[in-house]
Amino acid sequence: MSLILFAEQVLNGLQLGVMLFLMAAGLTLVFGVMGLINLAHGSLFMIGAFAAAAVAGATGSFLLALMAALAAAAAAGALVELVVIRRLYNRDHLDQVLATFALILIFSEGTRWVFGSFPLFLNIPDYLAGPVTLPGGIQYPFYRLTLILIGLAVALGLFLLISRTRLGIQIRAGENDREMIAALGINISGLYTIVFALGAALAGLAGALVGAIQSVQVGMGEPVLILAFVVIVIGGIGSIKGALVGSILVGLTDTLGGLLLPELFRQFMDSSAASSAGSALASMLIYILMAAVLIVRPTGLFGAKA
């Protein structure tokens, strides 16, 4: 295995990681601030992708499509919070899981009803298409490089939002003691709607960005949702920093594991069996990582609450 292949895979792992971060950030905020398990977060990812595909199809502009994805997912998030989620804060987690699972079914069949059963077309714009040559002779798709940069920029923006703004202070306070900040005169239900819409917008952005290189179809959000849950468990629930570190850990583990394990097995097995066994074990790696983190730190890497 060459060094170039390894370097390319590290970039791939990083790219997967930052996209996971966009999903996990919203999930961990909602869980941390409101104590809500939102299984329908994957549906917001899907809504972002479908909105982007519809707008890109109508206007041909990728930037407009991204804005539409942000707006549609944020609007859907705010609406869902006002109509359904608001009634769930004081219920136990099982009720929340049931209700948000129902939302998945409603969103999936609703999307199928509006857009049909066949996957939609959403492609990367011409100015981001094709590979670029990086130092060291690595050929890497320009679009994926852009994704890494967008993901890191969003992470920085979120960090500043949480640590430097008034809204960020309220969010952090809400995580620690929600009765107290309500008593201090903060409109807590308004804050919850904003946080939920923000998380939804990030998921929608991820859906649109990833949808352009994958397929825009019903149910596309659920596999990502599972990974995002793994990320927030590893990173520590409620922590944005934990979500970023967890995302990149999961991204790198998944990508490099898929490359290195079959290679390792090939040392003492025939090629076919090695790739079959290697990829089977590689797909378990992130869960093994999660288990290992939980043994050492039961609240996750950056989890605050015991």
Question: Where does this chain bind other proteins (CB under 8 A)?
Answer: 1-2, 4-5, 8-9, 12, 15-16, 108-109, 112, 117-121, 123-124, 129-131, 139, 141, 143-144, 210, 213-220, 223, 255, 258-259, 262, 271-272, 275-276, 279-280, 283
Per-residue b/e over 14-24, b at no fewer than 16 CB within 10 Å? bbbbbbbbbbb
Q: What is the smallest separation between the CB atom of 110 and other proteins, expressed in angstroms?
A: 12
- The residue assigned the tokens 């074990």 is 281
**Cβ-Cβ contacts under 8 Å for 78 (sequence gap 6 or more):** 193, 196, 197, 200
Considering the complex, what minimum distance in angstroms separates the CB of residue 59 from other proteins? 16
Nearer to other proteins, 88 or 248 (CB): 248
In this complex, which beta carbon is closest to other proteins, that of residue 147 or of residue 198? Answer: 147
Query: HSE on the CB side for 276, CA within 13 Å?
Result: 5
Minimum distance between the CB of residue 148 and other proteins, rounded to whole angstroms?
11
Closer residue to other proteins in complex, CB, 157/223: 223
204 contacts 48 by C-beta, under 8 angstroms: yes
Tokens standing for residue 177:
């003691």
Spell out the alpha helix ranges (H) of the chain: 3-34, 41-59, 62-83, 93-115, 142-164, 166-176, 178-183, 188-211, 221-235, 240-265, 271-296
Q: Which residues pair with 141 in a beta bridge?
A: 131
Q: CB of 235: closest distance to other proteins in angstroms?
A: 20
Alpha carbons 177 and 151: distance in angstroms, whole number: 30
Q: Give 16 or 44: the residue with its C-beta nearer to other proteins.
A: 16
Nearer to other proteins, 104 or 198 (CB): 104
Distance in Å, CB of 128 to other proteins, minimum: 9
CB of 283 to other proteins, least distance (A): 5
Whether 162 and 33 have beta carbons less than 8 Å apart is answered as: no
